C-alpha cells in the first residue's frame, strides 16, 4: 500500500470513529478504502476491536459513557442504510424483533437527533429534567388503559430521596400501547425480546430518556425478589408526587436490590430515609409497630 494513501485512510477512519464514540461499521470502513482482508488484519493485530458483526471500535479510543446507544444506532442500519428488523446479541441467547414497532424510520431519526443529549445526560454532563419528563408521562397516560409502575432511582426520587436519576424506568402491562402513546418520542422501537429479562421493551426521549418493559419473567425474582419482578408488582406502594399518585415498589425491596448492585451511596440514602420516616411516625406507645406501607 502506498504509505501516503495509508495515512490518509487512517486519518479519515480515526476522524469518523471519533465522531461516533470510537465505533464504525464495516461498510463505513470499506467506503474509506479498507477491504475485507485489511479489516481482518487490523482486528488480528489488535488495532480494531470487533464489537458486533459488522461493527468495530478503534482500540485506541476510550469507551464512551453509553456504548449501547451508539451500537444500537450503528447496528440499526443495514447495507442500504435503513433500519433492520432482527438482531442477535450474545450469540443466539438474545434476539430482538423490531417489527413490533410502527414507524421505525421516525424512531431512528429521533435517536440520531437526541443521541448527544442522551450521552451527555448519561455522563452527568448535562442536566436531566426528570420532573418535566415525568409530568409529560403522567399527562400522556392519563385516561388510557395503560397500567404501570415506576422503579429504579426515579422511584426513590419521587419520595424526595436525594438521588440523581439519569432516566426513568417503568414496568407496564402493554408495551405496544405505551409505544402508541409515545410513538412520536420513541428512540428505540417497541421490541420483542428472546433471552432477556422481559418479553418486550422500548425507549423514548422527552427532555430525558424514559423506558418501559412488559412481561417480566418470573426468574427475575430468583433467588431473591427484584424491584422489576412479580413480587414487586404484588406489593406496590402509592406515593403522592405533585398531587399525583405514583405506584412504586416497596422501599425495603428497593434497598435490597440497591445493596445487591453495590450502589453503596444510594443504599445509604435509602436506609437513612427509611429510618427518618420510621422515627418521624414512631408512636408514643412503644409496643405499637410500624409498617413501611403505612408511610408510603
Mean pLDDT computed over 195-206:
90
158, 185: one domain: yes
Question: What pLDDT score was predicted for residue 77?
Answer: 55
In which band, very low, low, confident or very high, does the pLDDT at 253 lie, cut at 50, 70 and 90?
A: very high
Q: Strands 55-58, 48-52: parallel, antiparallel or unpaired by DSSP?
A: antiparallel
198, 248: one domain: yes
**pLDDT exceeds cutoff 60 at 169:** yes
157, 90: one domain: yes
CATH of the domain at 239: 3.30.460.40
59, 166: one domain: no
Which is more confidently placed, 104 or 256? 256
**pLDDT exceeds cutoff 70 at 88:** no
Enumerate long-range contacts of 288-296, CB under 8 Å, 24 or more apart: 292/237, 292/250, 292/251, 292/252, 293/235, 293/237, 293/250, 296/237, 296/238, 296/239, 296/248, 296/250, 296/251
Mean pLDDT computed over 231-254:
94
**pLDDT exceeds cutoff 80 at 162:** yes
The whole domain housing 85 covers 64-295
17, 76: one domain: no
21, 129: one domain: no
Which is more confidently placed, 291 or 201? 201
Average confidence score pLDDT of the chain: 83
Question: What pLDDT score was predicted for residue 192?
Answer: 85
Query: Which SS3 state, helix, strand or coil, does residue 1 take?
Result: coil
93, 54: one domain: no
Neighbours of 197 (CB within 10 A): 15
DSSP tag of 219: G
Lowest model confidence (mean pLDDT) among 11-15, 16-20, 132-136, 288-292: 288-292
The strand order across the sheet containing 209-214 reads 86-89, 94-97, 186-194, 200-205, 209-214, 167-172, 148-151
141, 176: one domain: yes
126, 206: one domain: yes
Q: What does pTM read for this prediction?
A: 0.64
Question: What pLDDT score was predicted for residue 296?
Answer: 32
Angle, helices 67-75/104-122, rounded to nearest 10 degrees = 160
Residue that terminates a domain, selected from 11, 44, 63 = 63
Q: Using one digit for the tens of pLDDT, what is the confidence trace for 174-189?
A: 999 999 999 999 998 8
Short-list 207, 208, 226, 209, CA closest to 217: 226
**pLDDT exceeds cutoff 90 at 122:** no
Strands (E), the chain: 23-25, 48-52, 55-58, 86-89, 94-97, 148-151, 167-172, 186-194, 200-205, 209-214, 237-241, 244-248
DSSP tag of 192: E
In which band, very low, low, confident or very high, does the pLDDT at 295 lie, cut at 50, 70 and 90?
A: very low
Neighbours of 171 (CB within 10 A): 27
**pLDDT exceeds cutoff 60 at 51:** yes
Which is more confidently placed, 105 or 135? 135
Amino acid at each position: 500500500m502506498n504509505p501516503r494513501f495509508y495515512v490518509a485512510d487512517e486519518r479519515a477512519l480515526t476522524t469518523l470513529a471519533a465522531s461516533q464514540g470510537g465505533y464504525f461499521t464495516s461498510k463505513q470502513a470499506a467506503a474509506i478504502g479498507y477491504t475485507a482482508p485489511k479489516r481482518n488484519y487490523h482486528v488480528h493485530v489488535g488495532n480494531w476491536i470487533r464489537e458486533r458483526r459488522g461493527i468495530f471500535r478503534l482500540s485506541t479510543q476510550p469507551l464512551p459513557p453509553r456504548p449501547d446507544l451508539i451500537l444500537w444506532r450503528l447496528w440499526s442500519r443495514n447495507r442500504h442504510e435503513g433500519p433492520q428488523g432482527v438482531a442477535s446479541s450474545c450469540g443466539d441467547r438474545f434476539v430482538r424483533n423490531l417489527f413490533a414497532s410502527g414507524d421505525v424510520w421516525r424512531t431512528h431519526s429521533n435517536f440520531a437527533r437526541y443521541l448527544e443529549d442522551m450521552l451527555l445526560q448519561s455522563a452527568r454532563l448535562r442536566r436531566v429534567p426528570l420532573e418535566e419528563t415525568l409530568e409529560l408521562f403522567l399527562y400522556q397516560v392519563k385516561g388510557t388503559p395503560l397500567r404501570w409502575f415506576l422503579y429504579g432511582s426515579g422511584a426513590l426520587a419521587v419520595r424526595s430521596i436525594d438521588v440523581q436519576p439519569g432516566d426513568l424506568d417503568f414496568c407496564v402491562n402493554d408495551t405496544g400501547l405505551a409505544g402508541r402513546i409515545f410513538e412520536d418520542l420513541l428512540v428505540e422501537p417497541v421490541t420483542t425480546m428472546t433471552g432477556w429479562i422481559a418479553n418486550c421493551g422500548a425507549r423514548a426521549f422527552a427532555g430525558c430518556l424514559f423506558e418501559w418493559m412488559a412481561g417480566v419473567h418470573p426468574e427475575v425474582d430468583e433467588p431473591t425478589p427484584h424491584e422489576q419482578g412479580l413480587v414487586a408488582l404484588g406489593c406496590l406502594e402509592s406515593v403522592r408526587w405533585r398531587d399525583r399518585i405514583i405506584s412504586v415498589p416497596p422501599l425495603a425491596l428497593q434497598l435490597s436490590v440497591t445493596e445487591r448492585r453495590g450502589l453503596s451511596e444510594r443504599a445509604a440514602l435509602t436506609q437513612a430515609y427509611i429510618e427518618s420516616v420510621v422515627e418521624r411516625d414512631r408512636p408514643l406507645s412503644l409496643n405499637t409497630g410500624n409498617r413501611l406501607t403505612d408511610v408510603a
